[in-house]
Amino acid sequence: MNATAAIRRATPNDATAVLALFDAAIAWFTEIGNTEQWGSEPWSTQERQVARIAEACDSPDSWVHITERGEVNGFLVLGDAMPYVPAPEQPELYVRVLIASRAPHARGVGRRLMAFADDRALADGVTELRVDCYRGGSGALVRYYESCGYERTSVFDDGGWPGQVLARSLAR
């Protein structure tokens, strides 16, 4: 990753680029037979998903990772816990959305955004973070978050979508 790559606040103007990240991920998921996570239709063709991403890009704690050329290759949204997971037991910062390009030049962007989430939490005086993800398929996504220092806390089912909640403590 080039040293001039940066993380900046997302804006509504980033929605098209963020949708392209989701479309690319869905195409790859479909290619490997994982259509249960997000389906097989590009989000850019689904009115509901287009609206969700536009709203997410306009939220106060949404961030994009950009290349040295200004291209979006990662997206992060932080905030309150999602409504379908157990309520937090203490003050926390919740990773609501994380997606990064699978392109070779973007290797490590997801981890960089997760480290940025840690920094944001500490800047807000919070030492607990949570995230949820798809727990189906091979379980690779759960293992990814574990490799970022998160531990499994609870599972849930959101209308047939199997999810895993993970937490990370920054307390030293």
The structure tokens listed for 85 are 């997971």
Lowest mean pLDDT among 5-14, 33-42, 124-133: 33-42
Q: Which domain holds residue 60?
A: 6-133
Burial profile 25-55: b = 16 or more Cβ within 10 angstroms, e = fewer: bbeebeeeebeebbeeebbbeeeebeebbee
Q: With pLDDT > 70 as the criterion, what percentage of the chain qualifies?
A: 97
- Residue 150 counted as domain residue: no
Query: For residue 156, is it within any domain?
Result: no
Average pLDDT score over residue span 13-17: 97
- Examine the pLDDT at 140 and tell me if it is beyond 60: yes
What pLDDT score was predicted for residue 1? 45
| Residue 3 pLDDT > 70 | no
Which stretch of 24-38, 65-79, 113-127, 158-172 has the lowest confidence by average pLDDT? 24-38
83 assigned to some structural domain: yes
Using the predicted structure, report yes or no on whether residue 39 has a pLDDT greater than 70: yes
For 65, residues 6+ apart whose C-beta sits below 8 A from its C-beta are: 5, 6, 7, 72, 73, 74, 75, 76, 100, 106, 109, 112, 113
Tell me, yes or no, whether 102 lies in a domain. Answer: yes
- CATH of residue 108's domain is 3.40.630.30
The pLDDT assigned to 2 comes to: 46
Percentage with pLDDT > 90 across the chain: 76
